[in-house]
Structure 1
Amino acid sequence: MTDSQEKLAKKPFVIPQFTAKDYTSFFTAGAICATLTHGAMTPIDVVKTRIQVDPQLARQSLLSGGKYIVKNEGATALLTGFGPTAVGYLVQGGGKFAGYEFWKKQFAQIAGDQETAVKYRTAIYLGGASVAEFFADILLTPLEATRIRLVSQRGYASGLVTGFARMAREEGLGGFYAGFLPILCKQIPYAIGQFTVNELCHEVAFRSMSEETRRNLTGTSKFAISLTSGVIAGFAAAILSQPADTLLSQINKGHGPEGSMVYRLKELAKQAGFRGLFAGLGPRMVMTAGLVSGQFLIYGVVRDALGAPPGLEIHKETSAKL
């Protein structure tokens, strides 16, 4: 068969036509799941950030670091930065989840046919996650900068509004977006691990089942697959994004030499070394596994409750029906 004949033989590409209401539901579900999970993880994130930036806590574990903070600063210190965390991930989560559904569909359409989309599904996942995260991070960066400043610099401000206002007054737009490049370096690998690994884990699980078994999965089985896939995806997201997460904390505390952001990141990475870049990885893996698995579970529940359709699947086991 010639190339032209093979191309004609390929089946038409059929994908769901999401409406504006569907994307609104995706955004709402993403916003709710990200806000709830990141808000709940605030105490762990406080300890993780302090381990990264405070020399006195650099060699502490999650548990011992938390005890140290409570003993010296009180239990309320573990909730530092809750405001910007909740608001930041409200807009970022909505933008990321809705954006992933949108861009995954766009890249799948560019593939042109079922066979090509399935063949390059990993590239489609990577592209969809990366582009969605880029735009979501434009919304997140100012609030993340405020959160890190509140956590790493005790007494900086009393909360989100006062901290945001102080940064705006003293540092302006440049201060809010000083960490934009490292946030991209952190969040894009994070999103890649989160979405791509989750998709591939589901594919592995479903590939071992017959179509009838999959249709008749119990709620418990679906929950177990989603939870396991989310935990594995969370571990991957944490490992891929850890170095940039450490550098982001340093940048937002004002560490590093003067110069371009690329130069500062390079010098901070040299100073930290391999071990320093992965300081706090254990606590962050625990946090991220909970975040990612929780987000996918909540996202699915809220999306279904809003009557939105499931996202586009291009797993290999469904290559005959996209």
Structure 2
Amino acid sequence: MQNADSADVSCEFGSTKYYALCGFGGILSCGLTHTAVVPLDLVKCRIQVDPDKYKSIGKGFSLTLKEDGARGLAKGWAPTFIGYSMQGLCKFGFYEMFKIFYSDMLGEENTYLWRTSLYLAASASAEFFADIALAPMEACKVRIQTCPGYANNLRQCAPKMFAEEGVWAFYKGVVPLWMRQIPYTMMKFACFERTVELLYKHVVPKPRADCTKAEQLIVTFTAGYIAGVFCAIVSHPADSVVSVLNKESGSTAVQVLKKLGPKGVWKGLVARIIMIGTLTALQWFIYDSVKVYFRLPRPPPPEMPESLKKKLGLTE
């Protein structure tokens, strides 16, 4: 992967400082956005684990307000913030690292030809580690949100889960998390990268280098939302399994999948599309804003290398 233009940047592309600031951007983008949509996430989880009671988004909100009050909609905010901040650190930091690592392995020509596969491989590799960081807090979040009376906050929930089930309570959902998050993240990054490329090529009337920072961030937000819709669809069945699995202490992923059935795994999809579409767009917007603020170097837009053009007979 080619280095970015060195003018007006705060660090070297691919340096330790570069990865650290990318990781910091990931913390903000994932931690803040997931915490902001905790009420919608809570209702979505309750629809998934108890669809007979929580029949729709509106019904879910009204019942939660009636039973728990306005504060009830914020249940699970602490494990959400901690868990997704850790996930964002690994997701974005490792993605940038693996993208450069795999690009160096492929070489300039193959990086261009196989760039979609590169995005998919780098994001899958990053999410593998990100989910290990997320799993404990995700387990606490779902238990707080979907088991009334079990625990009101993280301070009560984590010790209780450990006393009842040991360390396994926090990691039994890691495989379903991989099933949910790895396809989601692969779609999130690959779809975003290619959508940005297509927007600048076919929609934006001028090259990215000629766009203002504000214009670039608008493109980022648009591409992020488009990617988010696809992310929600491909990851929703596994998300349903994770929600039910973390609610029921004695179940396995296979048992939950059989229990939900082909239709049950799609319960709450509309809420998840709204949540993930908005979430993904805001995450990319925040992440890109951090890059702009700290003046991080960026690789140029994908262009066919001159050596490949010659091989293909595209130059005179």
**Normalising to structure 1: TM-score of the pair?**
0.87
Q: State which of 68, 71, 81 in structure 2 corresponds to 1:86.
A: 81
Alignment match, 1:297: 285
User: What is the distance in 2 between the residues matched to 1:210 and 1:28?
Assistant: 29
Q: Are 2:145 and 1:155 aligned?
A: no
CA contact (8 A) 2:123 2:189 kept: yes
Letter in 2 for 1:230: G
Bigger mean CA offset, 283-292 vs 267-276: 267-276
User: Does the 8 Å contact 2:208/2:216 carry over to 1?
Assistant: no
* Cα offset, 1:255, TM superposition: 6.6
Deviation (angstroms), 1:301: 1.1
Structure 2 Cα separation of the partners of residues 218 and 65 of structure 1: 42
In the alignment, residue 163 of structure 2 is paired with which amino acid? R
Does residue 200 of structure 1 match 2:194? yes
Distance 1:240 1:109, change over 3 A: same
Gap runs ≥5 in structure 2: 5-12, 307-316
Match of 1:3 in 2: none
Aligned to 2:21: 25
The equivalences for 1:20-169 within 5 A come to 20-60=16-56, 62-112=57-107, 114-169=108-163
1:9 alignment counterpart:
none
The Cα offsets for residues 10-34 of structure 1, whole Å up to 9 and x where unpaired, read as xxx6446411111110111110111
Q: Which amino acid aligns with 1:179?
A: G
What is the distance in 2 between the residues matched to 1:174 and 1:78?
A: 28
Tell me which amino acid in the other structure corresponds to 1:34.
C
Structure 1, 131-140 or 14-23: larger mean CA deviation = 14-23
1:309 shift after superposition: 2.0
Describe the shift of the 1:121–1:313 C-alpha distance in structure 2 as closer, same or farther (beyond 3 A): farther
- Number of residue-to-residue matches in the alignment: 298
Is 2:305 the counterpart of 1:320? Answer: yes
2: distance between equivalents of 1:208 and 1:237? 23
More displaced stretch, 275-284 vs 70-79: 70-79
Asked whether 1:237 is paired with 2:231, we answer: yes
Could you list the runs of 5+ residues in structure 1 that have no partner in the other structure?
1-12, 258-263
Root-mean-square deviation (CA), in Å? 2.0
Contact 1:238 1:284 in 2 (8 A): yes
Q: Name the CA distance, whole Å, in 1 between partners of 2:75 and 2:300.
A: 39
Q: Which amino acid aligns with 2:117?
A: A
Q: Is residue 256–residue 268 contact of structure 1 (8 Å, CA) maintained in 2?
A: no
The match for 2:313 is none
Identity percentage of aligned residues: 34
Task: Give the TM-score, by structure 2 length.
Answer: 0.88
Q: Contact 2:109–2:304 at 8 Å: present in 1 too? A: yes
1:274 deviates by: 2.0
Q: Which moved more, 1:67-76 or 1:26-35?
A: 67-76
Residue identity matched to 1:277: V
Cα shift at 1:205:
1.1
Distance 2:304 2:204 in 1: 14
| Residues 256 and 267 in structure 1, CA contact (< 8 A), matched pair in contact too | no
Equivalent residue, structure 2, for 1:4: none
Cα separation, 2, equivalents of 1:275 and 1:58: 16
Match for 1:127: what amino acid? A
